[in-house]
Structures are given as C-alpha cells and as structure tokens.
Amino acid sequence: MIYTCTLNPSVDYVVHVDELRVGELNRAMKTLTFPGGKGINVSRVLKRLGVDSTALGFAGGFTGAFIENELRKEEIACDFVHVPGQTRINVKLKAGLETEINGQGPAIASEDAAQLTAKIEALSADDVLVLAGSVPPSLPADVYEQLAAETVKRQARLVIDTSGPALRSLLACRPFLVKPNHHELAELFGVSALTKEEVVIYGRRLTEMGICHVIVSMGGDGAFYFGKEAALFAEAPKGTVKNSVGAGDSMVAGFLAAYAGGKPIAEAFAYSVAAGSATAFSEDLCTKEEVETLVGRVRVVRL
C-alpha cells in the first residue's frame, strides 16, 4: 500500500482577481477551494490515475473536516490524527502572476505526534511512504528523520518531496524517489541558481549517494531524471497555465503510478512530466484522461 504523510495539510483557497490593487478593496472574479498539502495532492492524483493510497497526517477544525470530507468523496482512504486547532488555509492568488500565502498550521502536541509515529511503525516491506511538504513549526525539526528511520527499519520504501534542512537530513536514508525542483536542488547544495549543466552535475550526485530515482523539475522548462539505468531530460509540453499548484505533487504521483504499473523508467518519467503539466493546465489536479492525452507530446531524451 502507498501511504502519503502530510504533516501540515491545507485548504487551498484559490482567488482569481483581474488585477491586484494593494491597499484597496479587490473583488474576486472567481474563488475555488481544494483539499491541499503535498501528500494529499499525491493521494488525489494517484486515485485519479487508478492507484489507491491512504492519506496520513494531522487534521483539525472545520478546515480539517473539509479535507477529510473531500477525500472521502473521492474514495481516498484517510487516517489522520485529529488535533486541536485548525488546519491552515493557504491562499493562492491569481492576478496574472501566481502569488501564494501559506499559513502556519496548528500546533501539534507530542501525544498527537506519537499517534502518527505509531501508524508509521505499522508499515511493512511492501509499503511505500511519501513524506511531502513542510514541517509545522511546533514539531521537532528532525520529525521527518524519525519517521524515515522507522520506515527504513521496516524496509518500506521512502519517497521524499520536501525542501530545506528536512530534505538534506533525509538523503542518508537512501530514498526510493526524491523530487526537488531546481531551486530546492540548488539550496540543497548551497549554491545559487543552477544552469541545466549544473542540474545534471548535482542530480547525478544524488544518485551517487544511493537514491534510486531522482526527478528534478523546472516548471515550464521541463524536468530531468537521474537513476541507475539512465539520465533523461524532457521538455514540458506547451499549454496555457491555469493553476500550477500541485504540479510537483502530480509528478510524484505520475511516476509512482506508472512505476507501479510496470512501465519502463523512460515511460514512467514521461508520464510524470505529463501529470505535472496536465495539472498546470487545469484548475484542479490533473485527470487520467488529461495525462494520457498529454503524454504523447512529451519527448524524452537520453543524456
């Protein structure tokens, strides 16, 4: 079974305005509300691609209840630890450019954190755990390391989609898959903006550290894949971006779904890029039909 773990889920509140007038009253042209947070997005896209998963994490208040209801409507299993306080609301402002304001999230007590750890302790060697998104400030900074250590102890596979010190601390666990974007890759190695040549150098370095599959996404500029079998590049298909929130999470789900379906690496990578772009081109996350329409336009080249 695939488990996704979102320590800090969100209700993503997408607000479209014609033009943002700072310091004035703005009236929205359209608002949309989605269950969000990186692991939850991975679970939602996996379901759309025909793969079941269980969403783990913390949920609280009316916003937490909204997320659970939406996931149930989509027939996604969830096993959240219920916490006092409210799951955060992340504002995604669309005014030509995309501006995001992500909330902090509720404080998580140590007893609640222990309940989540107990769920991870029940994993077995057939399981995959996706650790994705930011760590709420109230949890110990090494919470991901602790959860990853439990996962490795049980020989389950780890998938990582996070950034900063949390990402750095997890590399020693030799994850099955990591998906930094090029900014996160640069931050990981303490360097500034990366050229494509530098992405290749640092991406390969991650595989040398024992990570099985590395995908480095670069928004509209496409993505690289690095692994034992191959190093690959794919341009992102061209299209009109409607909402790129969740594009990275969709890539993770796309790769896992194709890999679980036994597709060769190059095809799984193409499917992953198509899933990312299909999400960028839609208001909500991608559908299977959108991904399968787009995948024929993804050309993968071997480096």
Ligand X SMILES: O=P(O)(O)OC[C@H]1O[C@](O)(COP(=O)(O)O)[C@@H](O)[C@@H]1O
Ligand Y SMILES: Nc1ncnc2c1ncn2[C@@H]1O[C@H](COP(=O)(O)OP(=O)(O)O)[C@@H](O)[C@H]1O
- Chain residues binding ligand X by CB under 6 A are 8, 10, 12, 36-38, 41, 90, 102, 133-134, 245-249
Q: How far is the CB of 163 from ligand Y (least distance, A)?
A: 9
5 in Cβ contact with 39 (< 8 Å): yes
From the list ligand Y, ligand X, none, pick the one residue 277 interacts with, judged by a Cβ distance below 5 to 8 Å according to partner type.
Answer: ligand Y
Element holding 170 (H helix, E strand):
helix 164-170
Residue found under tokens 């007893």: 111
Whether 249 is a known active-site residue: answer yes
Tokens of 126: 């057939």
- Letters for 134-173 (x = contact with ligand Y by CB under 6 A, - = none) are ----------------------------------------
Q: Tell me, by CB under 6 A, how many residues bind ligand Y.
A: 18
Q: How far is the CB of 221 from ligand X (least distance, A)?
A: 15
Ranges of H-type helices in 172-214: 182-188, 196-208
Sign of the dihedral through C-alpha 95, 97, 271, 133: negative
From the list ligand Y, ligand X, none, pick the one residue 71 interacts with, judged by a Cβ distance below 5 to 8 Å according to partner type.
Answer: none
> How many Å apart are CA 10 and CA 62, to the nearest integer?
11
- Letters for 168-187 (x = contact with ligand Y by CB under 6 A, - = none) are -------------x------
Strands of the sheet with 88-95, listed across from one edge: 30-36, 10-16, 88-95, 97-101
Choose between 11 and 234: whose C-beta lies nearer to ligand Y. Answer: 234
DSSP-based three-state secondary structure for 211: coil
Active-site position among 127, 161, 249, 284: 249
> How many Å apart are CA 258 and CA 12, to the nearest integer?
27
Range 75-97 burial, b when 16+ CB lie within 10 A, else e: ebebebbebebbbbbbbbbbeee
Choose between 60 and 248: whose C-beta lies nearer to ligand Y. Answer: 248
DSSP-based three-state secondary structure for 131: strand
Which of 56, 251, 270, 286 is close enough to bind ligand Y by CB under 6 A? 251
Q: How far is the CB of 24 from ligand X (least distance, A)?
A: 26
Q: How far is the CB of 45 from ligand Y (least distance, A)?
A: 12
Nearest to 90 by CA among 76, 101, 75: 101
From the list ligand Y, ligand X, none, pick the one residue 112 interacts with, judged by a Cβ distance below 5 to 8 Å according to partner type.
Answer: none
Pairing verdict, β 97-101 and 88-95: antiparallel
236 is a site residue for ligand Y (CB under 6 A): yes
Choose between 58 and 271: whose C-beta lies nearer to ligand Y. Answer: 271
Which of 211, 218, 258, 265 is close enough to bind ligand Y by CB under 6 A? 218
Q: How far is the CB of 244 from ligand Y (least distance, A)?
A: 5
Which residues would be at the binding site for ligand Y (CB under 6 A)? 181, 217-220, 222-223, 236, 239, 241, 244, 247-248, 251, 273, 276-277, 280
Query: Which residues carry out catalysis?
Result: 249
